[in-house]
A and B are shown apart, each in its own frame.
Chain A
Amino acid sequence: MEKQQHRLAFGTLVITSKLPDTMVHFTAEERAAVVSLWAKVNVELVGGEVLGRLLVVYPWTQRFFDNFGNLSSESAIMGNPKVKAHGKKVLTSFGNAVKHMDDLKDTFAELSELHCDKMHVDPENFKLLGNMILIVLATHFSKEFTPQVQAAWQKLTTAVANALAHRYH
């Protein structure tokens, strides 16, 4: 947390803490739920499933992947090597969010600009992808994915979605 010095009238020095207004506050329990689960995630496997499910369940999202080859059926999508590779890339980036939960807007600033200026992705897709992450995590972690764990992860995916949308103009 940045500290600022303000000299008020009569030479009185006041030091205040500058709270970044972009900070999302995670409780200790929420952090623990996120970090402990993430440690057990197979990023390659889960990444492919997450992106695959997005493209199948919400077929209009395929509009961003015209050059990915065969997306003509559910099995084609889930087995598509480009989908798997890109899913891994996306989820690896998400791992960065887990490491920087206090600083998401800065962490994703460059990616935000990229998604806006180069890839022209509707930010609504970030929310949809976040929902897919939760569903796939639930299939893997089953009863461990309690309502509280779900809530912590929902908070993180929402915050990441907001961070990715932050630099849109």
Chain B
Amino acid sequence: MLSAQERAHVAQVWDLIAGHEAAFGAELLLRLFTVYPSTKIYFKHLGVCPDEAQLLTHGQRVLQAVGVAVQHTDHLRAALSPLADLHAQVLRVDPANFPLLIQCFHVMLASHLQGEFTVQMQAAWDKFLTEVAMVLTEKYR
């Protein structure tokens, strides 16, 4: 559960991303694949070396889902239920990978926001994304 202040920090970060989901999503995936190459196994359909167009398309999808979560921090389970089904039944991404994606998200935000990526923002965003990951893997078993 996020406090009011944490929700405010999450919304503040989202202000940077809203409208630019594709670009941020592409950068997020590029960082993920470069730093943690094993994560590419979940994206075999994008080929061995995903091109910019593919990263933008898929990146946008991922970040739009994050946007949905940002709008529904009070009822994540309901809002993300279809995505939770997808991850449990089709994608089956090993839960160990979510912290890797979350770390790349922080590094990306840090590089864009620099000093404005305060420790409170980082703490709130980390708590939020960790909750999202928990909801997405909750139906695994």
A positions within 8 Å CB-CB of B: 52-53, 56-57, 74, 78, 131, 134-136, 138-143, 145, 147-148, 150-151, 154
A-B contact pairs, 18 of them (CB 8 A): A52-B119, A53-B122, A56-B119, A56-B122, A57-B123, A131-B103, A135-B106, A135-B117, A138-B110, A139-B110, A140-B114, A142-B111, A143-B111, A145-B111, A147-B30, A150-B31, A150-B35, A150-B104
Q: Determine whether the beta carbon of A78 is less than 8 Å from that of B111.
A: no
Residue of B103, B104, B107 contacting most chain A CB atoms (<10 Å): B107
Q: Which partner residue on chain A sits nearest B106 by CB separation?
A: A135
Q: Give the B interface residue count (CB, 8 A).
A: 23
In the A-B complex, the 3 residue pairs with the closest CB atoms: A138-B110, A147-B34, A138-B111
* Cβ–Cβ contact A53 & B119, under 8 A: yes
Given contacts A57-B126, A78-B119, whether A136 and B31 have CB atoms under 8 Å apart is no
With both beta carbons as reference points, the residue of chain B lying nearest to A155 in the complex is identified as: B35
Contacts of B117 in A (CB 8 A): 135, 139
How many angstroms from the CA of A78 to the CA of B123 in the assembled complex? Answer: 13
Give the distance in Å from the alpha carbon of A140 to the alpha carbon of B126 in the complex: 19
Would A57 and B35 count as touching, CB distance under 8 A?
no
Confirm or deny: B115 has a beta carbon within 8 angstroms of a beta carbon on chain A: yes
Query: Is B54 an interface residue, CB under 8 A from the partner?
Result: no
Interface centre among A56, A135, A136, A140, by most B CB within 10 Å?
A135
CB of A139 within 8 A of CB of B119, answer no
Give the chain B neighbours of A150 by CB distance below 8 A: 31, 34-35, 104, 107
Report A-chain residues with C-beta under 8 Å of the C-beta of B123: 56-57, 74
A138 nearest CB neighbor, chain B only: B110
Cα distance A52–B122 when bound, in Å? 12
Give chain A nearest CB distance to B109 CB in angstroms: 8
Distance in Å: Cβ of A144 to nearest Cβ of chain B: 8
Are the C-beta atoms of A147 and B35 separated by less than 8 Å?
Answer: yes
Q: How far is the CA of A138 from the CA of B103 in the complex (A)?
A: 12
B110: chain A residues at CB < 8 Å are 135-136, 138-139, 145
Known: A57-B123, A134-B103, A151-B35. A139 touches B115 (CB 8 A): yes
CA gap between A56 and B103 in the complex, in Å: 16
